[in-house]
Structure 1
C-alpha cells in the first residue's frame, strides 16, 4: 500500500493526488479513482505556475503591492475579478465549515480556471502589450488587481494544494512596510470583503461573456484559414439599455473575442453587412461576424431553419395553452402577462430569423 502511494505521488505529485481525492469526498467511502482526473489536476498545477509566471513578468522586479485598492477607478475587468473572487471566498469558507470539501474544491477550481485564467488574464493582456501611455492608469490598476487576486487565490487554495501554493506564494512580491510571513501557512485564511462585491459589474460581465461565447462559436464555424484572423464584428441590440452595456464594454468584447472592430447598432438603424454570419446571444442581442469572401450560405440557412423550427414549436405550445377555454379564468393575471410577453418575444425572434433567411438568399 505504501509503495502504491509513493508511486502515485512520484508520478502525479502530492497536490494533484490530494486535490483529486478531496474532489471525490462528495461520493461514498468507496472511491473508483480515475487516474486521468489526477493527471488533469497535475496539468492544472502547471497552469497555476504559468499564471504566476505571467504575473511576475507583468509586475516587474520593483513592484510593490498597495495597502488599499481604489476600486472606483479600476477597469471593468478588475472590478469583476475581485467581485467573483469575493463570492468564491464566501462559498469556499461556507463549504469548509460544513465539511463539504468537494464543494470547496470545485468552487476554488472554478474561480482559478474559468474566471481568473480564462477571462481575467486574457482581458488585461492589452494593457501590458506595450508602454502605451493611454493605458498607464489601467496598467497600474491591473497590476494591483492581478497581485491581489493571485495572493488571495493562493491562500484560498492552500489547504487543498499546500505544496504548489507555498512555492508560488513565496515568489510573489510583498507590500512594503509590512513584515512578510515566513510561510503561507502562517497567513490568515481569506475572508470576504464587502466593498469588493459588485452585482452590477457581474451582471454586465455575463452579457460580455455570452457575447464573446457567441462570437467564438461563429469563428469556429468559419473556414479553417480564417479561424485565427481578427475579423470585424457587429452587435444588433433590441433596446438602448443593451446597446449601452455592449458599447461600454466594447474593449473587453474585442479583446476576448479577438475582433478587429466591433460596431454596435440598435434594431432598425442598420442592416446586417453582406457576408456576415449571425448568432443569437439573447432576446435583446444578436451578433454578426463578417467573413472575408463567401460564407457557407447553405450551412447558415440550415442553422436558421433549425432555429425557426425551435421557435415554431415554442410558439405552438404557448398558443395552444393560451387557447384553452378556461385559461382566462384559472390562470393568474401575472402568469398570463408573462406568457403574453414570452409569445411576443418568440414572434419577434421568428420575424428576425425569417428576415435573416431572406437576406442570405438575396
Structure 2
C-alpha cells in the first residue's frame, strides 16, 4: 500500500500522472470480487484522430458510474476499445497520402494501402489511449478491443453467415446514398444536409398525341434521361383526364406514361412530377408499385452515362447546365427560386447522389419487432424517457439496411463470386473453390461491410461471442450504455436487434442519453467556426478533476451544455478548497486515527455536520442511481464548500484550540468528526474527482489500499438530526446577522466588539450552549446573553426572529450611519409586508393555493411585521439618543 507523508503544494499534472500509473500497476481497474457484476462497454472512439470535449464528457460519465459501482461493492468491468471507422479513416489516410506523397490508394494497391491504414490505426489508437487515461478513465486495459481484432472479425463473419442462411441478408438493386468522389455507398449519418438557396425547374413534357402538354416540377433536371413516367395524384382534378396518356420525354425520342399515385403532393410545384426510379428513393418505390423500368443515367464518378445521349461523359454539374440550355432553346423551361436541403458527404463534402446500385442489404422487418418489444416490456429503458420515441420512430419506419461499402478498409464481405456458374458462396472461412460447382474460378467480393455492422455487435463480440466465454457469462448483458442522441438510429437500435437475435437478450438494461457540448454561444464545435477546444489543453491549464466536475455537473440527462471556461475555473476552485481543507484537517489529526466519534460526546456543531453528511449521502446516492449527475455534484459541492468548510471547520477551531484538561475530550471528538466527515466527503467526490481524492485519502489515516475500493458511504451509517440542524441554523443566523451588521457599519471582521444578545426565552438555552461558537465566529470582546437585556444607548441593532442583537457603538461608529442602515432595513421589510398583504388579499391565490401554502405566507407576514416593529422601536430609541 502506497502512502504519502503529507500534503504539500498541489501539482495537478504530477499527481494525476503518478496516481494513474499507480492504479494501473496495482491492477485496480480489473474486476475484483463482488456480490454482483456491473459492466459497461465503452462506445469505441474512431481511430481518425484526437478526442474532443464530447468524448471527454462521455468518458467522465462512464467513469463516474464505474467508480461509483465499484465502491458499492460490485464486480465492475468497463471494457475499452476503438472503432476502425471505415470511410472516415480511409479518407483521412488517403488525404494524408495525397498531401504528403502525391499518391492515391490506387497508386499503391489494396494490400499496401491497407498496411498504411493499419499503421495509422496504431498511431492514433495510442493517442486515444493516452487521452482516455489522462481523463482518469478506470477501464480494464487488459481487455481492450478493436473492431477489426481477430476475435471480433470472426464474430462479424459469424453474424453475416447466420443472417445470410436465414435469408435476412440479400443482394439487390436499391437506391442508396452515393458519394461520387469517394465512390462508395454512405449511411444516412454520413450524409450532412445543408440548407441552400437553389432553383426548381418547370419543364414542358408534350403529350405524345400532340394535343397539349404537362408541366412537371423538378430540382434535378440532369436525371431527366432516367425518367420512366410522369405522376400526378389520382384526386387531382387538373390531370385526371390525362392519366393513362403518353408523354414525350424532352431531348429524347422516348415516350413515357402518365400515371396516378398517392405519393404525389398536388401542392408541390405544378402537381406533376417526373418519376426516376434509379435516382430517387421515393420514385424507386413508385416504380416498384407500377412495374416501371429503372434507368441509371450516372456513372460511379458522377458523370452521365450513355443513356444521356449527347450529354454522356459530362460531369453532372456541367450536364445540368447544358441540359437547361437545351430546354431553354426549345422554350420548354421555367426556372424559379427554391429553398433546398442538399446532402453532402461527411468526409469530403461532395454532393451526395441518390443512386441505384447493386448492394448487400439486411432485411430489417423481422429484426425490428423484437427490438421494439424489449422497450415496451420495460426490459430496456431510455434515460430520459423521451428518447424512446426517437428509437421507436426509426424502428416503426424501418427500411432494409444497406451494409456494403465500396471501400478497402474494413471487414471484407465473406462472399465469393464464381465466374464459372455465376453463384455466390458465403463462408465463415476463406475458400478456394466454389461451394456450388467446385470451380476454382472464384473471387471474393471487393466490398467491405458498413462500419455500423461490426459496431452493432460490440456489447457481446468484445466478450468473446460466439464462444461461451467467462466474460460473456459474468458481464453480459451490460447494465448501461452511455451515448449521444444522434446515434440512437444508427448504433443503439442495431446493437439491440443484433443482441436479441444472437444472444436472446437486450445488450444493456439502460441507455443513458447525453446532449452535446456547445461553445459559450450555443454553437456546435466545428473546424469551420474555429471554436474547437482540446480537452487535453484544458486539463493542462487546470486539471482532469476540474474538467470532469465541470462536464458532469453542466447539464442534466439528455440536455446540451455550454462550455464556459469560468465554470472550469469554479471547479478548480473546489479542487483547491478540498486540498486546503484537507491540509487543515491533516495538521490536526493524530497518526492512524480512524475511529468514529462517540455519539454520546458530540457537541452541537458535531451533530449538525454529521446530520448534514447523512442528508448529503442520501441525496447524492439517490441522484446517482437516477443518473442525475449534475444534481448529485451540486449537492456534494454545497455540503463540502458551505456546510463543512465555511461552517464546521471554523466551528471546530473552538474545540481544537481550547486550552485546559477539560477541553481534551472535546478535541478528540472534534478530530474524529473532522476525519470522518472528510473521509466520507472524499468518497462522495471520488467518482467526480478521482485524482485529488485518492491523493488526499492516501495521506489520511484510513483502512484499505485505495479509495477506489473503499465502501460507498452508507445512508445507515449516519442519521439525520433535525433538532441539531434547526438549533445550529438558528446560531448560524445570529452569526450571519452580525456579519451583515459589521459589513453595513464598515466594521472589520478582525476588530473585536462587544455583543449583547436578547433571545426569546424558548431560545435562551440554545444560544447559551453555543456561546463558545459565537465568541469565536463573531469575534467578540465580550458576550452577554439574556432574554431581559434592555438595549443600551447608542448601539447597533440586528433583528431576527426570536432574537435581537445589540452592539454598543460608543466610540465605534457614527450613529447617523446606524440610523440610515435601520431605515434601509425597514424599507426592505415594508416591501415584503406590502407584497404579502397584496398576495393574501388576492382571492385567486387564497382560494386556489393549498391551505398549507396560504398558512405559510401568513406566518411570513406576521414575522416580517414583527421585525419591522422591532426596527421601528430601535429607530425611535436611537433618534431619542441623538436629539
Q: TM-score, normalised by structure 2?
A: 0.37
Of the three residues 696, 705, 708, the one matched with 1:185 is 708
**Residue 772 of structure 2 corresponds to residue 254 of structure 1:** no
Give the drift of 1:141: 0.2
Contact 2:754 / 2:783 at 8 angstroms: preserved in 1? yes
Which position in structure 1 is the counterpart of 2:755?
233
Which position in structure 1 is the counterpart of 2:598?
70
**Residue 877 of structure 2 corresponds to residue 359 of structure 1:** yes
CA distance in 1, matches of 2:621, 2:631: 10
Which position in structure 2 is the counterpart of 1:32?
562
SS at match of 2:668: helix
SS at match of 1:59: coil
**Residue 677 of structure 2 corresponds to residue 149 of structure 1:** yes
Per-residue CA distance 1:28-69 (angstroms, 9 max, x = gap): 6432211111112212212111111111111133x4222x53
Q: Tell me which structure has the larger Cα radius of gyration.
A: 2
Give the drift of 1:113: 0.3
How many residues are treated as equivalent by the alignment? Answer: 347
CA distance in 2, matches of 1:136, 1:242: 28
Give the drift of 1:339: 8.5
Q: 1:144 to 1:353 in 2, by over 3 A?
A: same
Give the drift of 1:236: 1.9
CA distance in 2, matches of 1:218, 1:153: 33
Equivalent positions of 1:110-189 (< 5 A) are 110-129=638-657, 131-174=659-702, 180-189=703-712
Equivalent positions of 1:21-60 (< 5 A) are 21-26=551-556, 29-60=559-590
Contact 2:613 / 2:718 at 8 angstroms: preserved in 1? no
Which position in structure 1 is the counterpart of 2:504?
none
Contact 1:218 / 1:289 at 8 angstroms: preserved in 2? no
SS at match of 2:756: strand
Contact 1:219 / 1:289 at 8 angstroms: preserved in 2? no
Contact 1:156 / 1:189 at 8 angstroms: preserved in 2? yes
Between 139-148 and 270-279, the greater mean CA deviation after superposition? 270-279
**Residue 201 of structure 2 corresponds to residue 201 of structure 1:** no
Give the drift of 1:182: 1.6
Which position in structure 2 is the counterpart of 1:177?
none
CA distance in 2, matches of 1:98, 1:357: 53
CA distance in 2, matches of 1:10, 1:334: 53
- For structure 2, the 5+ residue unaligned runs are 1-49, 52-532, 843-849
Of the three residues 712, 716, 736, the one matched with 1:213 is 736
Between 75-84 and 98-107, the greater mean CA deviation after superposition? 75-84
Q: 1:186 to 1:265 in 2, by over 3 A?
A: same
CA distance in 2, matches of 1:101, 1:351: 46
Between 288-297 and 119-128, the greater mean CA deviation after superposition? 288-297
CA distance in 2, matches of 1:37, 1:298: 42
- For structure 1, the 5+ residue unaligned runs are 175-179, 325-331
CA distance in 1, matches of 2:536, 2:862: 64
Of the three residues 277, 282, 295, the one matched with 2:813 is 295
Contact 2:756 / 2:806 at 8 angstroms: preserved in 1? yes
CA distance in 1, matches of 2:735, 2:866: 23
CA distance in 2, matches of 1:124, 1:278: 28
Give the drift of 1:152: 1.0
Per-residue CA distance 1:66-91 (angstroms, 9 max, x = gap): 2x532121111111111100000000
Q: 1:171 to 1:292 in 2, by over 3 A?
A: farther
CA distance in 2, matches of 1:47, 1:141: 23
CA distance in 1, matches of 2:563, 2:653: 38
Of the three residues 621, 640, 655, the one matched with 1:93 is 621
Equivalent positions of 1:318-329 (< 5 A) are none
Which position in structure 1 is the counterpart of 2:546?
16
Q: Name which structure has the greater RCO, CA cutoff 8 Å, separation 6+.
A: 1
Q: 1:189 to 1:354 in 2, by over 3 A?
A: same
Contact 2:557 / 2:627 at 8 angstroms: preserved in 1? no
Which position in structure 2 is the counterpart of 1:279?
798
Which position in structure 1 is the counterpart of 2:106?
none
Contact 2:588 / 2:671 at 8 angstroms: preserved in 1? yes
Contact 2:606 / 2:670 at 8 angstroms: preserved in 1? yes
Per-residue CA distance 1:255-280 (angstroms, 9 max, x = gap): 222223321222xx222123321122
Between 190-199 and 240-249, the greater mean CA deviation after superposition? 190-199
Contact 2:745 / 2:818 at 8 angstroms: preserved in 1? no
CA distance in 2, matches of 1:300, 1:119: 28
CA distance in 2, matches of 1:355, 1:300: 14
Q: TM-score, normalised by structure 1?
A: 0.85
Of the three residues 240, 258, 263, the one matched with 2:784 is 263
Per-residue CA distance 1:296-335 (angstroms, 9 max, x = gap): 32232223223434555666677789999xxxxxxx9999
Higher helix share: 1
Contact 2:611 / 2:720 at 8 angstroms: preserved in 1? yes
Per-residue CA distance 1:182-236 (angstroms, 9 max, x = gap): 2111111111136532110001111011111011111112345x44112111212
Instruction: Let me know the Cα RMSD of the aligned residues.
Output: 3.1
